[in-house]
A = this chain, B = another copy of it.
Amino acid sequence: MLYLVGFGLHSYKDITLRGLEAVKGSATVYLESYTSIHGESLDAFEKLIGKKVHLADRAMMEQTDKIVDESCRENVSLLVVGTPLFATTHSDIMIRAKEKGVDVEVIHNASIINVLGCCGLYSYSFGRVVSIPYFTERWKPTSFYDNIVRNHQSNLHTLCLLDIRTDEDRFMSVNEAVDQILEAAAITGSPLINEDTRIFAVCRFGSPSEEIVYGKIGDLKLRSFGDPLHSLIVPAELDRVEAELVGSLFK
Q: In chain A between 1 and 40, which residues have their CB closer than 8 angstroms to a CB of chain B? A: 6, 8-9, 11-18, 20-21
Contacts of A241 in B (CB 8 A): 88
Does the CB pair B122–A125 fall under 8 Å? Answer: no
> In the complex, how many angstroms separate the beta carbon of A157 from the nearest chain B beta carbon?
9
Bound-state CA distance A9–B108 (Å) is 8
Q: Mark A74-100, 1 if CB is under 8 A from B, else 0.
A: 000000000101111011100100110
Which of B14, B114, B127, B128 is A111 in contact with, Cβ under 8 Å? B114
What chain B residues lie within 8 Å of A126 (beta carbons)? 128-129
A127 touching B124 in the complex, CB below 8 Å, given contacts A13-B21, A18-B13, A114-B83 = no
In the A-B complex, the 9 residue pairs with the smallest Cβ-Cβ separation, listed nearest first, are A108-B110, A13-B17, A13-B18, A85-B117, A95-B248, A108-B114, A86-B117, A83-B114, A14-B16
Asked if A245 is at the interface of the complex by the 8 Å CB criterion, the answer is yes
Residues of A112-128 at the interface with B, using a CB-CB cut-off of 8 Å, are 113-114, 116-118, 120, 122-128
Alpha-carbon distance between A21 and B14 when the two chains are bound, in angstroms: 11
The verdict on A110 contacting B6 (CB below 8 Å), with A18-B14, A20-B17, A116-B86 known, is yes
A206 at the interface (CB under 8 A from B): yes
Contacts of A16 in B (CB 8 A): 8, 13-17, 109
Q: Count of chain A residues with Cβ under 8 Å from any Cβ of B?
A: 53
Q: Which residues of B contact A14 (CB under 8 A)?
A: 16-18, 108
Report Cα–Cα, A99/B15, bound state, in Å. 31
Chain B CB within 8 A of A150 CB:
yes
- Which of chain B's residues have a CB closer than 8 A to the CB of A109? 16, 109-110, 114
Chain B residues near A245: list those with CB within 8 A.
88, 91-92, 95
A203 surroundings in chain B (CB, below 8 A): none
Knowing that A8-B108, A86-B117, A124-B130 are A-B contacts, what are 4 other residue pairs whose CB atoms are under 8 Å apart, sorted by A's residue number?
A91-B120, A99-B248, A106-B118, A123-B129
Q: Are A116 and B113 in contact (CB under 8 A)?
A: yes
Tell whether, in the assembled complex, residue B117 and residue A128 are in contact, meaning their CB atoms are under 8 Å apart: no
User: What are the residues of chain B within 8 A of A190 when measuring CB–CB?
Assistant: none
Point out the residues of chain B lying under 8 angstroms from A20, CB to CB. 17
Q: Smallest CB–CB gap between A153 and chain B, Å?
A: 10
Complexed CA–CA distance, A86 and B14 (Å): 18
